[in-house]
Amino acid sequence: MNTRLKIWYLFSIVLAFIHVSVTTAQTLAVNAGPDNTLCPGGNVILGGSPVAAGGLPPYTYSWAPAAGLSSTSVANPIATPSLFTTYTLTVTDDTGAVQTDMVDVTLSQLFYVGAGQPTDFCKDQSGTIGSPVNATVQGINFSWAPAGDLNDPALPQPTAEPVLTTTYTLTSTIAGCPPKTDSVKVTVIQPPPIYAGEDITIKEGERATLHAEGGYNYAWSGGGGLTYANTADPDAEPDITAIYILYGTDITNRCFAYDTVVVSVIPSDDVVFYNTFTPNGDGNNDTWFIGNILKYPNNRLDIYNRNGKLVYKANGYTNNWDGKTYLGEQLPAATYFYIMDLRDGAGTFHGTVSIVK
């Protein structure tokens, strides 16, 4: 081998040795960056500075998963995930060497808190506002406004008792993130315009029909002698002056109001005959009522059908005829004729009464 060839051979061996040494000393290293916490409305930049070192540039980058990334193939993508995510970075250098690293992106607790869903309350009632999650998180400060109708504006879920429809704004703060604001509308449902009618005056033994207005469902109470108490137009048969209370709801059957009416009773011994009753077993108007009949315990009552046949009789009638004959047979719906002798010189009365079914 001539001298030139020997020198070139030795020089090639030295260059190869140097190349192997340098490559071996500079192993490919990857840095996906520090773990991050994402704030609402913000973003984080992944990857270190630099992301890759050693090996043989140029490098190719591959981030996974792709969800929430501005790019999966750049060194430092912007990440805005919607949930806790561990991103894996894979770097390949020009020789085909591969290295990986991982980084966690955690969502701030602020993501989970909020003012809650819109709701409605009846006037003069109260309710809780704020997301149920508010009470489970740690390290967050809450501030609600306006504060006037709240039991404590610093609570995660305060109790609100607004007089008028109100939008409440919640400002939530935690270290390391800007404040988060959210709002919720609370609609105040005004009570129904319940009206129990004008006061009424009747004679003892008479029946007064009450009249309700302004509501959807009704319930009457108080006084005495009420029939059809859960309707708009019940009958009242008080023995003495009485106050009746009307409760009425709105169409949602959630909010209510009340009103009162006075039925004044003038003492009287007059017998009052009513011309219909409904013996259907519903507990209302099931028997034939004669006002003040109990003041005449020696009375005699005879009931005839249209053919003149006696179908019912009683000595000492006590408002207990249920539409059956004195033998217990059910009578049909029809008009019947009565003769009432009060005895003791108090007088005799006759007229008609109808059974309605």
What value does the mean pLDDT take over residues 106-131?
A: 95
Q: What is the pLDDT of residue 45?
A: 97
Q: What is the pLDDT of residue 224?
A: 83
pLDDT category at 74 given cuts 50, 70, 90 is very high
DSSP-assigned beta bridge partners for residue 103: 87
Cis amide prior to 65 (ω within 30 degrees): yes
pLDDT category at 11 given cuts 50, 70, 90 is very low
Question: What SS3 string covers the chain?
Answer: CCHHHHHHHHHHHHHHHHHHHHHHHCCCEECCCCCEEECCCCCEECCCCCCEECCCCCCEEEEECCCCECCCCCCCCEECCCCCEEEEEEEECCCCCEEEEEEEEEECHHHCCCCCCCEEEECCCCEECCCHHHHCCCCCEEEEECCCCECCCCCCCCEECCCCCEEEEEEEECCCCCCEEEEEEEEEECCCCCECCCCEEEECCCCEECCCECCCCEEEEECCCEECCCCCCCEECCCCCEEEEEEEECCCCCCEEEEEEEEEEECCCCCEECCEECCCCCCCCCCCCEECHHHCCCCEEEEECCCCCEEEEEECCCCCCCCECCCCCECCCCEEEEEEECCCCCCEEEEEEEECC
Q: What is the pLDDT of residue 19?
A: 45
Average pLDDT, the chain: 92
Question: How long a stretch of residues is the chain?
Answer: 357
What value does the mean pLDDT take over residues 340-356?
A: 96
pLDDT tens, residue by residue, 151-171: 999 999 999 999 999 999 999
pLDDT category at 283 given cuts 50, 70, 90 is confident
pLDDT tens, residue by residue, 262-282: 999 999 999 999 999 999 988
- Considering the domain delimited by 200-266, tell me its CATH architecture: Sandwich (2.60)
Q: What CA–CA distance (Å, rounded) separates 254 from 247?
A: 12
Question: What per-residue string of b and e applies to 310-326 under the rule 16 or more CB within 10 Å gives b?
Answer: ebbeeeebeeebebebe
pLDDT tens, residue by residue, 216-273: 999 999 988 898 899 999 999 999 999 999 999 999 899 999 999 999 999 999 999 9
pLDDT at 37 over 60: yes
pLDDT category at 23 given cuts 50, 70, 90 is very low
What value does the mean pLDDT take over residues 110-118?
A: 96
CATH class, 272-355 region:
mainly beta
* Closest to 226 (Cα-Cα) out of 250, 269, 261: 261
Q: What is the pLDDT of residue 282?
A: 84
* Closest to 336 (Cα-Cα) out of 277, 271, 284, 272: 277
* Closest to 241 (Cα-Cα) out of 202, 207, 210: 202
- Considering the domain delimited by 29-107, tell me its CATH architecture: Sandwich (2.60)
Q: What CA–CA distance (Å, rounded) separates 153 from 134?
A: 13
Q: What is the pLDDT of residue 326?
A: 87
**How many C-beta neighbours within 10 Å does residue 54 have?**
16
* Closest to 60 (Cα-Cα) out of 75, 40, 47: 75
Q: What is the pLDDT of residue 223?
A: 85
Q: What is the pLDDT of residue 184?
A: 98
pLDDT at 73 over 60: yes
Q: What CA–CA distance (Å, rounded) separates 154 from 309?
A: 83
Q: What CA–CA distance (Å, rounded) separates 102 from 62?
A: 12
- 326 versus 179: the higher-pLDDT residue is 179
Instruction: Return residue ranges of the chain for CATH 2.60.40.10.
Output: 29-107, 111-189
Instruction: Return residue ranges of the chain for CATH 2.60.40.3010.
Output: 200-266
**The model scores a pTM over 0.85:** no
**How many C-beta neighbours within 10 Å does residue 221 have?**
12
What value does the mean pLDDT take over residues 180-190?
A: 96
Q: What is the pLDDT of residue 252?
A: 87
Q: How far apart are the first and last CA of the chain?
A: 135
Half-sphere exposure (Cβ direction) of 232: Cα atoms closer than 13 Å: 9
Q: What is the pLDDT of residue 235?
A: 92
| CATH number of the domain located at residue range(s) 111-189 in this protein | 2.60.40.10
pLDDT category at 284 given cuts 50, 70, 90 is confident
pLDDT at 127 over 80: yes
What value does the mean pLDDT take over residues 310-317?
A: 96
pLDDT category at 14 given cuts 50, 70, 90 is very low
Q: What is the pLDDT of residue 227?
A: 86
